[in-house]
Structure 1
Amino acid sequence: MQEHYLPVVELFVIRNANGKIAAFMGLSNELIEMLFVHPDEQGKGYGKRLIEYARDKKQMDKVDVNEQNEKALQFYLHLGFQIIGRDETDSMGKPFPILHLQLPEANPGNRN
């Protein structure tokens, strides 16, 4: 995975008070590619802070989420993302529907 996926994203990390990685986010040229918050660290605002950074500092306003990941979907909807599209399969062609989300203040014409 590291040599195939991680080189194409810019990673941002938040460490907790003990210096351990609590959350990380990966950005590509077009969207928020990944966001992970350790289960023990969820609910502390780390995910929200990363999304705000992506939006405010990197002008990222799009994210894709597996439709079956209800917790992640609800997180993004809570932050103001709106569903703008859906694919029946993931990028590997597997039967995992993917929802495309975007912040409403963004220009809808920017999505490729």
Structure 2
Amino acid sequence: MTPNDFKEIKELVSTINFNDFQVFCLVNGKVILGFIGVADMKIEMLFLDPKYFGQGLGQKLLNFAVKKLNADKVDVNEQNSKAVKFYHRFGFEIFERTDKDDQGRNYALLRMKLAD
């Protein structure tokens, strides 16, 4: 990612209206370990503090989104191979690839949906 792309994405994230999503946090006491945001049955964001990677917490958030919020779609940056593998292991399959992200940058997206 170029420094300019990083700056643009950071600015874009700061404009997100989280009221447009169902957002749920995974907490331990007063510490937020991660969160997931879903809109129209699509996972729009899943973030986990890197300190907690590999502990099954991302899967816990994903299970919640799928089972409780009926989420069955997600877009993943093709370059994020760890995320692509994570969703594949959960049963998501690629149904479309774009050459650019939703903002027109040269980052291919993989549109994935939960296999039937």
Aligned counterparts of 2:16 and 2:91: Cα–Cα separation in 1: 31
TM-score for the superposition, normalised by structure 2: 0.83
TM-score for the superposition, normalised by structure 1: 0.85
Structure 2: gaps of 5 or more residues: 1-12
1:110 is matched with none
> Which structure shows the bigger proportion of residues in strand conformation?
2
**Contact 2:41 2:69 (8 Å CA) reproduced:** no
Aligned pair count reads 104
> Which structure shows the bigger proportion of residues in helix conformation?
2
1:108 is matched with none
Check if 1:21 corresponds to 2:32: yes
Which of 54, 66, 70 aligns to 1:55? It is: 66
| Percentage of identical aligned residues | 37
Query: How large is the RMSD of aligned CA atoms in angstroms?
Result: 1.4
Aligned counterparts of 2:84 and 2:56: Cα–Cα separation in 1: 16
2:109 is matched with 98
Aligned counterparts of 1:14 and 1:61: Cα–Cα separation in 2: 20
